[in-house]
Structure formats: structure tokens, C-alpha cells
């Protein structure tokens, strides 16, 4: 009986499988400086994308090299789009410095053939570090609202998250209940022998 209980306990206490780490990078642009249509000078481009591994140090150059996000989202203050929606196309190019911080980028969500949200910055450009956030469309076909240098800012990798899968939580709970039962039984046996 004891051997079975110990075998069950050891099986329950095996290392639990974990969900893979994810790394989220978030961009916050500056307010638009020149607007028409549906936008205001309080609107700005924001974007985020999640990768399965952090960006490496000194990745890409100029406006960057392509990355393939697990998920992404864009907003320009008037419209928002994310990876769960059907879009015309997306571009994710980034460059990092020796510390892995994003220093160049070209990110675009083509919502359809006439509407898009874009931000790009080429810190290595001969055109005096050109930075640009832009939106087009917004429902009335005539809206736009760029801003120029300086660029907005990035945060990330946003901390990695390691979360037990739901089935692992059930397994962990069962193991803990079994362990508590064994401890209670041991204490009861010790109290009877006294």
C-alpha cells in the first residue's frame, strides 16, 4: 500500500510542463502634428507585437530585419486592428542596439488597400534620423496625420511570462491534495502512538 502511495506521489510531483516564454514589445508614438479628416492632434500611433524569443543584441540595421510575431496590435487613436482580424498585410522589421533595445523599425498594418497604420524610424539614415508615424483612411478616405522626428518610444521585452497550462494546474492541485492527505495520515498515526 505504501509503495503505491509513494509511486502516486512521485508521479504527481514530477516537473510540470510550462507554456513557452513570450516577449512583448510596445511602441508609443508622439501626438500627430498635422491632421485632417477624422483625426486630432491628440491621436498617435501605438503598436505592440509578441515574439516567442527576445530580440537579440545588434539585430538588423537601419529600419530593421523582418520578425514574425505570434500576435500584434496597432492603433492610431481612431481605428484599431490586431492579429485576430483579417488585414491586407503586415510588415514587422526591427533593428536593435548592442543592448537589445529597438533603435530602428518599419511596422505597418495594411488594413485594406487604402487604409494603413505605419511607424518607421531609421536611426542610421543619411536623411538625419528620419522618423515618421502615419495613418491613412480612417473610414472617410481622406484622413491623414503624420508626425516626424523625434520618434516615439519602445518598451519591452515586457517581461516574460511562464504560466502553467490549465491541465498542469489540475495536476498540481491533485498532487498537493495527495501530499496533504499523506501528511495528515502521518500526524494521525504519530498522535495515536503517543
Per DSSP, the residues of 51-110 read: ESSPPPTT-S-TT-EE---SEEEEE-SS-EEETTS--SEEEEEEEE-TTS-EEEEEEEEE
Residue 187 lies in a domain: yes
Give 54 or 142, the one with higher predicted confidence: 54
Residue 30 has pLDDT above 80, yes or no: yes
| In the chain, % of residues over pLDDT 70 | 57
Give 43 or 3, the one with higher predicted confidence: 43
Residue 183 lies in a domain: yes
Domain range for 185: 163-193
- Cα–Cα distance, 41 to 88 (Å, whole number): 27
**Together in a domain, 131 and 172:** no
**Together in a domain, 149 and 167:** no
169-183: pLDDT as tens digits: 444 455 555 656 656
| Strand 143-144, strand 131-137: pairing | antiparallel
**Together in a domain, 81 and 139:** yes
Residue 162 has pLDDT above 90, yes or no: no
51-70: pLDDT as tens digits: 999 999 999 887 789 999 99
Residue 158 has pLDDT above 60, yes or no: no
pTM equals 0.66
Question: Which residue carries 507554456 as its cell?
Answer: 19
Residue 144 lies in a domain: yes
Ranges 37-46, 51-60, 74-83, most confident: 51-60
Give the number of domains in the chain.
2
**Together in a domain, 150 and 168:** no
**Together in a domain, 151 and 169:** no
Residue 104 has pLDDT above 60, yes or no: yes
Residue 1 lies in a domain: no
**Together in a domain, 65 and 138:** yes
Residue 15 lies in a domain: no
Residue 6 lies in a domain: no
Question: Contact 24/49 with Cβ under 8 angstroms?
Answer: yes
Residue 9 lies in a domain: no
**Together in a domain, 58 and 142:** yes
**Together in a domain, 27 and 91:** yes
Residue 137 has pLDDT above 90, yes or no: no
Residue 14 lies in a domain: no
Amino acid at each position: 500500500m505504501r509503495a503505491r502511495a509513494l509511486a502516486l506521489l512521485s508521479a504527481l510531483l514530477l516537473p510540470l510542463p510550462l507554456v513557452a516564454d513570450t516577449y512583448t514589445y510596445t511602441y508609443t508614438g508622439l501626438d500627430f502634428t498635422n491632421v485632417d479628416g477624422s483625426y486630432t492632434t491628440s491621436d498617435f500611433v501605438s503598436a505592440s507585437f509578441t515574439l516567442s524569443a527576445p530580440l537579440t543584441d545588434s539585430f538588423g540595421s537601419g529600419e530593421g530585419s523582418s520578425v514574425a510575431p505570434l500576435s500584434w496590435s496597432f492603433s492610431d487613436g481612431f481605428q484599431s486592428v490586431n492579429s485576430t482580424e483579417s488585414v491586407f498585410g503586415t510588415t514587422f522589421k526591427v533593428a536593435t542596439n548592442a543592448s537589445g533595445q529597438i533603435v530602428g523599425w518599419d511596422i505597418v498594418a495594411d488594413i485594406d488597400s487604402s487604409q494603413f497604420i505605419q511607424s518607421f524610424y531609421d536611426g542610421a539614415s543619411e536623411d538625419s534620423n528620419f522618423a515618421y508615424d502615419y495613418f491613412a483612411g480612417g473610414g472617410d478616405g481622406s484622413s491623414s496625420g503624420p508626425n516626424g522626428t523625434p520618434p516615439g518610444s519602445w518598451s519591452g521585452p515586457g517581461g516574460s511570462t511562464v504560466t502553467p497550462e490549465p491541465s498542469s494546474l489540475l495536476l498540481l492541485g491533485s498532487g498537493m491534495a495527495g501530499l496533504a492527505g499523506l501528511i495528515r495520515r502521518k500526524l494521525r498515526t504519530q498522535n495515536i502512538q503517543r
